[in-house]
Amino acid sequence: MEREWLFEDVHRMFRESLHKWIVKELAPHADEWEQKQEFPMEIYRKVGEQGFFGGGIPEKYGGVGGDFRYKVVFAEELVAAKSAGTAAGLLLHDTIALPILSNFASEELKERFLVPGVRGEKVGALAVTEPDAGSDVASIKTKAVRDGDEFIVNGAKTFITNGVRADFYIVACKTDPGKGLHGMSQILIEKGTPGFKVSRKLDKLGWRASDTAELIFEDVRVPASNIIGQENHGFYQVMEGFQTERLIMAAGAVAGARHCFDITLQYCKERKAFGKPIGSFQVNRHRFADMLTWIEAARRLTYNTIWLLINGFECSKEIAMCKVFACETAIKVADLCLQLHGGYGYMMEYEIQRIWRDGRIGTIGGGTSEIQREIIGRLLGL
């Protein structure tokens, strides 16, 4: 297979086991969870029981060890759940919240949150984006003021995946506003802490089964021991997290585009017009040829960049390229595939409409395509 070169036997076994479980336990409920606009919280525990949150997490904390490739497999196979909202909730916990704890948190925080997080018993969220600060992380206004052995946190966050139902939140705050980028920290805040509340569950175009929220912090007192890593090192932690988040989004976009391609190819082999399958018309054959070329180009670019990352090479430019190309490719493919479905593609009973809606977030979340192009341009010295 085209992806075999990047993965080892342990990743392949993980993929096979994960895929079977997703097809059996998640996919049959996709429509139901989309309509309810949430999936059951017990799914986190079930994923944890199977060990699927353990990839890339040291064994001493309940993981299986290994590297970032486990997270890539997790992202790719969740496409089979047929609900990007469900995938988003699980991926946020697995590929963003848990790695932050594993990479930066104190031993105390790892025991209290990472260990149960790997088991799916506690669910995490990352709270960086604010009403007036998205990709421009340096402009966040949420502040954490030191008061003895505590921090007092005030501010607001928005577009927070898992924001309604998480058990703990990793919150980006200004701990020394006068130092700019060098005065930011990440602090863990637990659900139920006085002064912290979910102000609103947001209603979204896609990712309907995931909970996305606005958060308010009003004089929230948090133990100083809840700071993630070193004080005032939060900006670097966020930037490192952005790198892997963007690669995960690229890998998921490629897998999603291929799934979209496959179901549309099957549809166009079966659907007939003027006495023959619509896929046999030259204009449609050429569309499929173009889409497959785009998908494979995006896959090769993304896999090459993953290889660079796991082997310790600087690849910031390549990661930004992956984020742009893979996510824009997924949107183009979904749009063409919906067109190929004709009127049926516009009906809610067909999966293609959900793929089309869900994929649109790809060029927005995790840093917009415009931001990625800025990164590429600046790294070229322009």
The CA-based angle 69-81-119, given to 5 degrees, is 60
Scored b (16 or more CB within 10 A) or e, 253-278 reads: bbbbbbbbbebbbebbeeeeeeeeeb
- What pLDDT was estimated at residue 136? 81
In the chain, which residues have pLDDT < 50?
Answer: 1
Looking at residue 2, its pLDDT comes to: 56
Q: Can you read off the two tokens belonging to residue 205? A: 């175009």
Query: DSSP characters for 187-225?
Result: EEEETT-TTEEEEEEPP-SS-TTS-EEEEEEEEEEEEGG
List the chain domain ranges.
4-122, 126-231, 235-379
Q: 74: burial class by Cβ within 10 Å (0-12, 13-18, 19+)?
A: buried
CATH class for the domain made up of 235-379: mainly alpha
Domains 4-122 and 235-379 share a fold: no
In the prediction, which pLDDT does 138 show? Answer: 83
Architecture of the CATH domain 4-122:
Orthogonal Bundle (1.10)
The pLDDT value given to residue 298: 98
Give φ, ψ of 227 to 5 degrees: -70, 140
> Could you give the CA distance from residue 275 to residue 271 in angstroms, rounded to a whole number?
10
Among 34, 245, 318, 351, the active-site one is 245
Q: Residue 11 and residue 89: Cα distance in Å, rounded? A: 22
Tokens of 109: 């925080």
Paired tokens of 289? 């040829």
Report yes or no: 369 and 324 within 8 Å, Cβ to Cβ.
yes
Residues in the chain, total: 382
Q: Where are the alpha helices (DSSP H) in the chain?
A: 9-25, 30-36, 42-49, 69-77, 84-91, 98-104, 107-109, 115-118, 234-270, 282-310, 316-340, 351-359, 369-379
Q: What percent of the chain has pLDDT over 90?
A: 96
Whether the CB-CB separation of 327 and 361 falls below 8 Å is answered with no
Q: What is the pLDDT of residues 124-170, one digit of tens each?
A: 999 999 998 877 888 899 999 999 999 999 999 999 999 999 999 99
Active-site residue 16, yes or no? no
Helix axes 369-379, 316-340, angle to 10 degrees: 150
Could you tell me the pTM of the whole model? 0.95
At 195-252, the pLDDT tens digits run 999 999 999 999 999 999 999 999 999 999 999 999 999 999 999 999 999 999 999 9
Q: What is the pLDDT of residue 3?
A: 60
347 CB-contact burial (10 Å; exposed 0-12 / middle 13-18 / buried 19+): exposed
The CATH architecture that domain 126-231 belongs to is: Beta Barrel (2.40)
Extract the tokens encoding 82.
């047929």
Neighbours of 132 (CB within 10 A): 11
What pLDDT shows up at residue 131? 92
Cβ atoms of residues 85 and 207 within 8 Å: yes
User: Which amino acid is it at 291?
Assistant: M
